């Protein structure tokens, strides 16, 4: 596309200058149409682009991702939204397209973490998607193209500083990739493994009924964790990731983190929360934070004050029974692990968040124990035989 190097604002931190992005051979496969991306922006852009490109290629649906610090806060394909999700995602008042629906889902997985995200879209950005991104606090976007009006909208964001990158959809990198750490270069074969239904064929549990929607969700969440900092556990349902536990040293801690995020995603759809009456002038970021605080069981006085400033009237906290009754309706969730599960504790925690379908690498010393745990809950689990670490 004409250049082989661009200057970046700085590296990981403002004191790390100079910084640049370049190719040793050939031109860069993208154009910066607006703004000035930084080092972390480009890491997010190039990782997130791979994710949405792969989802679109393997599911033939528009795909989107919301990235923060080189891991997805959410990823999704363009499945129509329920009325509850429209309200939970604050999109019940806007025009939606399949692509903007995918982004609303990706952003809606963990709206608190997606604050200041990098957006990735698999398709040419249309006006509904641009308008949706324009409403949110976001640092930049990467996509294969932009409609003229959509580019105008995004180019005005952040007083004209919003980073907009147009990616060459036909670009394929070399089969070997190299990185440098502490002055030393490392090289490996690129992870070109395709996440398809083939990895779900070896079902090892007594229950072997894998629905088409579950197969889709397992592909969505496995593709998502492929581009997430390891260790990783991901939960998904309805064509979108709903909880990602990333970068933990223990797999059960990944599972607890992912499960907690998935639970909060589902609790956001509780009628009490959907019926919140917001004070005039309260923005979406403040609403997201207020909902998050409301779901805390023992708020501090300061947190309670924040809620009072955001809501006309703070309703009583959901009781343990109310939360439990609501969570019991969460079902049909899919889970993917980027490596084998060494203990059944992951299964026991997953069950609490409605997990029914799982895929993992397998080949642990305690495989039989883990399979037995799945059988206890009537789950369907496949062994992919594939590890997906990403660093």
- Give Dmax over CA atoms of the chain in angstroms: 62
Contacts of 136-141 with CB under 8 Å at 24 or more apart are 136/107, 136/284, 137/285, 138/162, 139/41, 139/163, 140/35, 140/37, 140/41, 140/44, 140/45, 140/164, 140/165, 141/165
Between CA 93 and CA 116 the distance in angstroms is 22
Cα–Cα distance for residue pair 225/389, rounded to 1 Å: 9
Give the Cα separation of 213 and 377 in Å (integer).
Answer: 20
Q: Is 391 a catalytic residue?
A: yes
Q: What distance in Å separates the CA atoms of residue 225 and residue 229, rounded to the nearest whole number? A: 8
DSSP labels, 26-77:
S--SEEEEES---HHHHHHHHHHHHHHHHHHHHH-S-EEEEEETTEEEEEEE
Peptide bond into 156 cis (omega under 30): no
Instruction: Please state, as a whole number, how many other Cβ atoms lie within 10 Å of the Cβ of residue 80.
Output: 11
Catalytic residue of the set 34, 58, 231, 289: 231
Which residue among the candidates 69, 158, 253, 390 is catalytic per the annotation?
A: 69
Cβ pair 92, 100 in contact under 8 A: no
Q: Cβ(253)–Cβ(119) under 8 Å? A: no
The two three-digit tokens of residue 199, written as one number: 């990895």
Residue with structure tokens 């629905």? 211
Among 56, 68, 351, 356, the active-site one is: 68
Are 361 and 384 a contacting pair, CB within 8 Å? yes
298 is catalytic: no
What is the spatial distance between Cα 147 and Cα 168, in angstroms, rounded to a whole number? 15
Tracing tokens 């536990």 back to the chain, one arrives at 245
Catalytic: 87? no
Question: Which one-letter DSSP state was computed for residue 317?
Answer: P
The rounded radius of gyration (Å) of the Cα atoms in the chain is: 21
68 an active-site residue? yes
Catalytically annotated residues: 68-69, 231, 391
């Amino acid at each position: 596309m004409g250049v082989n190097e661009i200057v970046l604002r700085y590296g990981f931190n403002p004191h790390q200058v100079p910084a640049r992005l370049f190719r040793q051979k050939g031109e860069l496969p993208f154009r910066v149409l607006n703004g000035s991306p930084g080092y972390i922006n480009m890491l997010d852009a190039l990782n997130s682009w791979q994710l949405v490109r792969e989802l679109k290629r393997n599911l033939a649906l528009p795909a989107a991702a919301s990235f923060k610090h080189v891991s997805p806060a959410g990823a999704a394909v363009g499945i129509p939204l329920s009325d509850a999700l429209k309200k939970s995602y604050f999109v019940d008042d806007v025009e939606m397209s399949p692509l903007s629906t995918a982004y609303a889902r990706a952003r809606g997985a963990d709206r608190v973490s997606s604050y200041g995200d990098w957006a990735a879209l698999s398709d040419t950005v249309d006006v509904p998607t641009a308008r949706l991104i324009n409403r949110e606090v976001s640092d930049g976007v990467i996509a294969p193209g932009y409609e003229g009006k959509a580019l105008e909208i995004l180019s005005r964001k952040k007083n004209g500083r919003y980073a907009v990158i147009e990616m060459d959809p036909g670009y394929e990198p070399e089969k070997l990739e190299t990185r440098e750490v502490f002055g030393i270069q490392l090289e490996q074969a690129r992870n070109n493994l395709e996440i398809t239904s083939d990895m779900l064929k070896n079902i090892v549990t007594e229950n072997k009924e894998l629905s088409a929607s579950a197969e889709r969700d397992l592909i969505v969440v496995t593709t998502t964790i492929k581009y997430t900092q390891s260790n990783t556990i991901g939960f998904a349902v309805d064509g979108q990731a709903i909880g990602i536990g990333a970068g933990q040293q223990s797999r059960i801690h990944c599972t607890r983190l992912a499960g907690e995020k998935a639970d909060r995603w589902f609790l956001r759809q509780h009628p009490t929360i959907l019926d919140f009456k917001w004070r005039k002038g309260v923005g979406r970021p403040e609403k997201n934070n207020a909902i998050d605080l409301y779901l805390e069981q023992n708020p501090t006085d300061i947190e309670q004050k924040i809620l009072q400033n955001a809501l006309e009237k703070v309703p009583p906290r959901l009781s343990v029974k109310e939360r439990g009754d609501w969570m019991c309706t969460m079902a049909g969730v899919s889970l993917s692990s980027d490596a084998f599960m060494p203990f059944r504790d992951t299964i026991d925690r997953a069950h609490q968040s409605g997990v029914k379908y799982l895929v993992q690498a397998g080949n642990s010393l305690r495989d039989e124990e883990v399979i037995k745990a799945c059988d206890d809950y009537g789950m369907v689990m496949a062994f992919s035989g594939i590890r997906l670490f990403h660093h």
